[in-house]
Amino acid sequence: MSCNVLKLYKIGKFYNAYKDDGYIIHELMGYKFVEYKQSVGFPESAFSKVIQKLNDEKISYEIYEKNKVVDKYKGINKNYQHVLKKAINNINVENRVNRLKEIIDNCSNKEIEKIIEAIEDGRFK
């Protein structure tokens, strides 16, 4: 089994992708990556849209139901790694932005004004 194969697991009425596979689904589909679970989930109603996107991107995948492979697609191995690299870079940026939002949420209005002024007058570039 290759590490360049995205795995989707059907659990009830949802599909889940874990770790690197979750990063890829987050990148391609915009579904929320849940950091503490290291996963992305989506409803079965979105399944065909996700599969179409994986096919379009030529990313290999396997679909599991009750720990059995029920479907698979052979894509291009390097495509998995290419999208994964982009996904990891983007999720790192998202995490940094979220940390900044938390900091700003704890700033006073006066502190926020100073930050905005610094950005607007070009001191932050």
Q: Is the pTM of this model over 0.85?
A: no
Between CA 18 and CA 25 the distance in angstroms is 9
Query: Cα separation of 73 and 61, whole Å?
Result: 5
Mean pLDDT by runs of 10 across the 125 residues of the chain is 84 95 96 92 96 96 92 90 94 92 91 88 74
Give residue 1's pLDDT: 39
Q: Report in angstroms the alpha-carbon separations of 89 from 23, 29, 43.
A: 10, 16, 26
Instruction: Report phi then psi at 61, rounded to 5.
Output: -150, 160
Q: What domain range is 12 assigned to?
A: 6-120
CA 112 to chain CA mean position, Å: 30
pLDDT recorded at residue 124: 66
Establish if 125 belongs to a structural domain.
no
CATH code, domain with 106 = 3.40.1170
Question: What total of structural domains would you count in the chain?
Answer: 1
C-beta separation of 9 from 16 below 8 A: yes
Is residue 62 a part of any domain in this protein? yes
Please check whether residue 15 lies inside any domain of the structure.
yes
Q: 33 has which bridge partners?
A: 40
Report helix, strand or coil for 41. strand
CB atoms within 10 A of CB 84: 19
